[in-house]
Structure 1
């Protein structure tokens, strides 16, 4: 093992071949998830499929006060979490949500989505036709106005299925003292529950707050990207069950290309807020194995805007500690040698 490498294949620099660096010389392409939140309908099929396949315990069916979200976040008993975020106001690059703006000229996400694959200048399916002779100068175009005829501001639900990011630079791998966390040949990060001793070091190490310890158990649990299914050529249960292909599974590089094309398609349709999150190898965790297309800022979805691997400074810390130890030893020896008799 080189000085720049850990058992999880983490290099604090560009490192696309995480599986190869972890001891898999003939590893398959790195696999991952691309979640397109613009087509998520909040059906929770992914949550159910994940629990069913992985025998994840039920974690409560009570309403949380957060719309239809009955899980609130990822945890030891929620390896998939579907967020429901309610917003009022104009969308598609206009003023901030919550402010009615009848003269806003950008397409709202609903109208823009309905126009995908159609002439951008023509109304999409279900959109009302323009008034004869066009709208008066300075007046709002009712086809794209985010305000209804009676003055009510439109409501938008942002729905997103969150999951472990399977980071390139995975801090949880760095801090695990037992080797319970390991990098698979597919580049994913998995917890071996029979080896986990429940120390909990991985919980604060995760920059996304994904890993959690199960009550009454103490061990850490999280998404495995259905490692057992991948081994026999099957896709993860959540992606298999998604009815809209919001959760897409495949080789990571292929997914990144597909995601870039989807963002370009949405931008061309007027959804200017569409952006990718976690796909860049140049971010603070070296890129995620599970990344997202978002329709608003990451913070709106409960995601950190600039995630950083929490163990990035460990090599320097160890070097400073070693230098300090050597210096103290040298001082001790020097004091002994110079001590007067």
Structure 2
């Protein structure tokens, strides 16, 4: 089983029955270098033939997708953050705007400092302990030899059990189709030794693909580098195998709290207590049967 001295066991593939599984593969998304170009969204749609989901700007943002859906397997979030929220925790002055941006009406070339954009390309987390796998009644959802989680659309019956089982709100059913859809980490590409379409298209290497243990080491080095540069708030999210999902196959470097990006601070797999619940239900059933038997025998005497 693949492992890392800092993070412990990483690979769920052997537990899924793969005796000679390759190293677990994953995504590391470094939001500090995301420029919001949405090349990842376009590449994902083109390669996976994901339908167009419209171009509604939502009235409040440059973001035209709004979140992960059955028709958006990658979603680039645009978060405009006032300077007061940033500077309150900064150790020293920081650049808060986008390159070349400025206040309306000004002619100076100086970058504006009243806000900053936080951008993040969100995606399915390919959890180590995946609730969607636990509840799927048809086997449509399965664990691959790379440790990723994939939906087989030709087996999915559209029951929707996987949707509330995902702690990140990733899986969605397609309107007019009824079946569940989500990121496959381009299972067809990585099986041929290729890079997933989103990571291949990313111009800044914000999305990095590779062996998960190596990505985690690389991510920690990046956090340390940003700390040395005085960037406040840099942290990793979804990398810890001790969290409620056992660590993610897709994790992130964030520049603020997870909630700012719409991510749960303490994700928990809803189905994690199923074994204990079934055990308790079984014991309760046995106790009830024993009570009925004793009552029946006592009544006959």
Distance in structure 2 (CA, Å) of the matches to 1:160 and 1:340: 71
Distance in structure 2 (CA, Å) of the matches to 1:236 and 1:324: 48
**CA drift at 1:317:** 0.5
Q: Counterpart of 1:87?
A: 81
Aligned residues of 2:14 and 2:21 also touching (Cα < 8 A): yes
**CA drift at 1:36:** 0.3
Aligned residues of 1:86 and 1:155 also touching (Cα < 8 A): yes
**CA drift at 1:281:** 0.8
Residue 262 of structure 2: which of 302, 320, 340 is its match? 302
Aligned residues of 1:88 and 1:153 also touching (Cα < 8 A): no
**CA drift at 1:302:** 0.4
**CA drift at 1:105:** 6.3
Which is higher, the Rg of structure 1 or of structure 2?
1
Deviations 1:286-336 (A, max 9, x none): 101000000111001000011111111111100110011111111122122
Aligned residues of 1:205 and 1:311 also touching (Cα < 8 A): yes
Aligned residues of 1:80 and 1:161 also touching (Cα < 8 A): yes
1:112-151 equivalences in 2 (<5 Å): none
* Number of matched pairs: 286
Distance in structure 1 (CA, Å) of the matches to 2:70 and 2:240: 27
Question: Could you state the TM-score of these two structures normalised by the residue count of structure 2?
Answer: 0.90
Q: Which moved more, 1:44-53 or 1:59-68?
A: 59-68
Distance in structure 2 (CA, Å) of the matches to 1:31 and 1:55: 23
Q: Secondary structure at the match of 1:208?
A: coil
2:43 corresponds to 1:49: yes
Runs of 4+ in 1 over 6 A off after TM superposition: none
Distance in structure 2 (CA, Å) of the matches to 1:324 and 1:105: 57
Q: Counterpart of 2:215?
A: 255
Distance in structure 2 (CA, Å) of the matches to 1:153 and 1:88: 9
Structure 1 gaps, min length 5: 1-13, 97-103, 115-125, 127-147
Q: Counterpart of 2:272?
A: 312
Residue 202 of structure 2: which of 230, 242, 247 is its match? 242
Structure 2 gaps, min length 5: 1-7, 101-107
In terms of fraction of residues, the more helix-rich structure is 2
Question: Could you state the TM-score of these two structures normalised by the residue count of structure 1?
Answer: 0.80
